[in-house]
Amino acid sequence: MQHGTSDQLRSTSRAIHWTLSSKIILSIGGLLVLLAIGVAALTFVQVRQTAFDQLEGKGVALADSLNYTFEVLLGQEAFPSLQRVAENSATIPDVRKLVIADRHKQVVASSNYVDVGKPTDSSLLSEYLDKADWQRTTYLSDSDELSIIQPLRGGRFVGGLDGDIVGAVQVTLDRRGAEARAIAAALQLLAISLGSYLLIFALLAVILRILVVRPLHQFATIAQRIRFGERSLRSRIYRRDEIGLLSTTFDDMANDVETTLTSLETQVADRTATLQAVLAEVQSRAAEQERLLAENTQQREMIRELSVPVLPISSTMLVMPLIGALDSTRLHQLREQALRVIERSAARYLLLDITGVPVVDSQVAQGLIAVVRAARLLGTEVVLIGIRPEVAQAIIGLGVDVQGIRTVADLRTALSQYDTARTIQMR
């Protein structure tokens, strides 16, 4: 029994595809991973925006810091120095290109010296000069470029047609560096978050297994073993928390179930004993009824035979006295009994006495004639005794052929004739 219970427990355990600890650990792990990814995504967005703001601030600061330098160099017409400053400024990290153009869209200085003296090829700078709004403007392009266009003032060194505005400077910055730094920061934070969450995940998994999963598994094992017949087992987990309360409730319930089952088993045993006693009595009564039925059948067979008695008078003569009404059943019995006795005794004469038959109708007359003819086929002569006038009229009225049928008034006459015939035969 113990071996079978262990096999059933192992079979039930194998039927569990995902344990509770696996579900809890995977659920918490999934939430932590999603949380880490979410934090990394928010960090990426924030760092990216901060990097873009810093990049834009760098471009604005570069334009502001070079504004006075360009103003002085333009006033002294020191174009070689101006070109050198432009080329040096292009070496600053994240600065892709720097272009200075006058009000007539002619390039005065550029990070690419080939463009100096030519009309600017920058559509943004050209539109800015045509618009003449003279406000600092920032442009974002689809090619990861951030362009800052700022007007240049002539000041006290150079005058301009429109106040002191003599041209504009376009600083083109590369946003890919800021994007890369944002991605690196986000990935670094993601790695740190995942590492931290992995540690928390492992600690939480151990704690859950000790505090929750192991007691619940113990409950399940105890419940299954109780189900398979070990009703005396109890969980006995003594803790001051929900698991402890569950253990106490479970043990109390197991005690109640054991008491109830014991009471039910006692009642079933008592009822079974009572039913067995009643069944034995019923079987005894059934046997007695069967015996009585057999006796009744035997008695009925005896009565049936006695209702149509066949009495041997001698080795060659039989007498069958009939008393009472003759129905179809009794006529059939009469014929069978007469033929059977004739076959066994090989009698030559059968004296059929119907003096005691109160009524002879057409059915009875037909039955008697049938007995006479059947006996004649077996070589036995039937002598009808006690035919009354009304019986004779009934037989004649049926049109039955009575030729060859011997009749005698009473049994004594028939026996006298039989004695006379036998005496003659003996002489």
Mean pLDDT per 10-residue run, the chain (427 residues)?
A: 50 52 72 76 71 68 66 61 74 79 83 82 84 80 75 57 70 74 74 78 79 78 80 78 79 84 88 90 88 78 66 83 82 85 84 82 81 86 83 72 76 75 55
Residue among 66, 73, 146, 158 at smallest CA distance from 108: 73
Residue 350: predicted pLDDT: 86
For residue 204, give the 3-state DSSP assignment: helix
Q: Which long-range contacts (CB under 8 A, 24 or more apart) does 175-181 make?
A: 175/52, 175/55, 175/140, 175/144, 175/145, 175/146, 176/144, 177/55, 177/93, 177/94, 178/48, 178/51, 178/52, 178/54, 178/55, 178/94, 179/48, 179/51, 179/144, 181/47, 181/51
DSSP class of residue 114 equals G
Tokens representing 134? 């003279």
Distance, CA of 211 to CA of 205 (rounded, Å): 10
Asked if residues 319 and 288 have their Cβ atoms less than 8 Å apart, the reply is no
Distance, CA of 352 to CA of 339 (rounded, Å): 13
Distance, CA of 193 to CA of 37 (rounded, Å): 9
Asked if residues 117 and 80 have their Cβ atoms less than 8 Å apart, the reply is no
Match domain 45-181 to its CATH number in 3.30.450.20, 3.30.70.260, 3.20.20.20, 1.10.357.10. Answer: 3.30.450.20
pTM for this predicted structure: 0.38
Architecture of domain 308-426: 2-Layer Sandwich (3.30)
Sign of CA dihedral 292, 293, 297, 298: negative
Distance, CA of 243 to CA of 254 (rounded, Å): 16
Give me the residues paired with residue 174 across strands.
145
Residue 54: predicted pLDDT: 67
Cβ neighbours for 148, distance < 8 A, ≥ 6 positions apart: 56, 59, 60, 63, 136, 137, 138, 139, 170, 171, 173
